[in-house]
């Protein structure tokens, strides 16, 4: 598949989807963020070669795209994102209510550090700043779903549920290529 080409990592269909957006944004610059989202969704991350490739597509300087990417913690450049991206809030309310403990628990349980993905491609662990759910601290976000008032037992149940083959999102492949 063309996405494996190290200097052309953005597949033709993804490039086509980006080009389709040209007419919907006032400038190519305004298209950088949506394009980065598309690439990450399809490649599981935005490697440096994809930044260079996108720069050629948008006819913008690669460092400019890299700056945008680096500004947002959401984009991942070093490795793939797992099927489930787990964000553990470490801001004040959650930290006080045990968020740091949950993060430590997950690093032990999953055997990875924040920013890393489990070898089976299932989980990526991240620390987050305030998730906007301070009344429900400690809060955890998995992909786009918020889990309030978490504790170790709830995390155990959640991970087991997500890892179960019968779970709709794990019934097929184990990554989001
Ligand atoms: S401090 Fe954790 S959600 Fe606000």
Query: In which domain, by residue range, is 16 found?
Result: 2-71
Strand order in the sheet with 84-89: 123-128, 84-89, 140-142, 145-147
Asked if 76 and 96 count as a contact pair (C-beta separation under 8 A), the reply is: no
Same domain, 48 and 93: no
Respond yes or no on whether the N-terminal peptide bond of residue 138 is cis (omega within 30° of 0): yes
User: Closest ligand 1 atom, CA of 99?
Assistant: 2
Give CA–CA dist 81/45, Å, rounded: 6
Of 94, 98, 149, the residue with max ligand 1 atoms within 8 A of its CB, to mutate for a pocket test, comes to 94
Please work out whether the CB of residue 95 comes within 6 Å of at least one atom of ligand 1.
Answer: no
The tens place of each residue's pLDDT in the chain, 177 residues long, gives 444 567 788 999 999 999 999 999 999 999 999 999 999 989 988 999 999 999 999 999 999 999 999 988 889 888 789 999 999 999 999 999 999 999 999 999 999 999 999 999 999 999 999 999 999 999 999 999 999 999 999 999 999 999 987 666 655 444 433
What are the start-end ranges of the H helices in 76-151?
Answer: 92-96, 99-110
Same domain, 49 and 97: no
Domain count, the chain: 2
Asked if 162 and 122 count as a contact pair (C-beta separation under 8 A), the reply is: yes
Same domain, 158 and 88: yes
Of 130, 135, 147, the residue with max ligand 1 atoms within 8 A of its CB, to mutate for a pocket test, comes to 130
């Amino acid at each position: 598949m063309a996405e494996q080409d190290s200097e052309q990592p953005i597949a033709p269909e993804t490039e086509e989807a980006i080009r389709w957006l040209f007419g919907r944004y006032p400038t190519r610059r305004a298209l950088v963020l949506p394009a980065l989202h598309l690439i990450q969704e399809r490649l599981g991350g935005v490697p440096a070669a994809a930044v260079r490739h996108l720069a050629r597509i948008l006819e913008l300087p690669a460092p400019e795209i890299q700056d945008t990417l680096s500004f947002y913690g959401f984009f991942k450049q070093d490795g793939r994102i797992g099927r489930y991206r787990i964000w553990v809030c470490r801001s004040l309310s959650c930290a006080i209510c045990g968020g740091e403990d949950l993060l430590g628990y997950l690093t032990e349980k999953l055997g990875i550090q924040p920013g890393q993905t489990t070898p089976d491609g299932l989980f990526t662990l991240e620390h987050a700043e305030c998730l906007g759910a301070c009344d429900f601290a400690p809060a955890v976000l998995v992909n786009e779903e918020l889990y309030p008032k978490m504790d170790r037992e709830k995390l155990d149940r959640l991970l087991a549920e997500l890892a179960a083959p019968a779970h709709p999102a794990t019934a097929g492949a184990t990554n989001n290529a």
